[in-house]
């Protein structure tokens, strides 16, 4: 495995483990197992990548983007920064985070209101 693939594997493992904390292991592992080209163990470790690692990362992000919103963007920032400019636009995602901060939308405020 190339150094680049190993770097992606490490970043993906870290991202999965963060999502396990946020979303729980059942949802996280279900989503992770749906990513083509990525094999994940039950503890969240990425044990194999096949194909283009950038494509795997893009598929991974798509799986979680649907369910996590702003929390995903914050925890996935290191992974998003590895993608080239022709991949999902991290600038617009950062703008969404900034917009939530401007309007005062946050998970902690939502939790305080309940």
DSSP letters spanning 46-78: EEEE-S-HHHHHHHHHHHHHHHHTHHHHHHTHH
Residue given tokens 């770097």 in the structure block: 7
Phi-psi domain of 52 (left: phi exceeds 0; alpha: psi -120 through 50; beta: other)? beta
- What's the pTM value of the predicted model, to 2 decimals? 0.60
User: Of 8 and 100, which is predicted with more confidence?
Assistant: 8
Q: What pLDDT is attached to residue 30?
A: 95
Q: What per-residue string of b and e applies to 67-97 under the rule 16 or more CB within 10 Å gives b?
A: ebebbbbbbbeebbeeeeeeeeebeebeeee
Mean pLDDT of the chain, nearest integer: 77
Q: What pLDDT is attached to residue 104?
A: 43
Q: Quick check: 56 and 38 in contact, CB under 8 A?
A: yes
Flag whether pLDDT at 90 surpasses 70.
Answer: no
Tens of pLDDT, residues 13-53 = 999 999 999 889 999 999 999 999 999 999 999 999 999 99
Q: Cite the DSSP H helix spans in the chain.
A: 3-23, 25-33, 53-68, 70-75, 77-80, 90-103, 107-113
């Amino acid at each position: 495995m190339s150094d680049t693939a190993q770097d992606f594997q490490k970043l993906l493992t870290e991202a999965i483990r963060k999502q396990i904390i946020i979303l729980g292991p059942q949802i996280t592992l279900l989503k992770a197992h749906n990513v083509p080209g990525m094999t994940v163990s039950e503890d969240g470790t990425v044990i194999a990548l096949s194909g283009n690692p950038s494509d795997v990362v893009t598929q991974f992000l798509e799986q979680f983007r649907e369910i996590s919103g702003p929390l995903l963007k914050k925890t996935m920032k290191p992974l998003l920064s590895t993608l080239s400019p022709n991949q999902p636009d991290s600038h617009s995602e950062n703008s969404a985070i900034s917009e939530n901060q401007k309007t005062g939308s946050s998970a902690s405020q939502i939790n305080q209101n309940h």
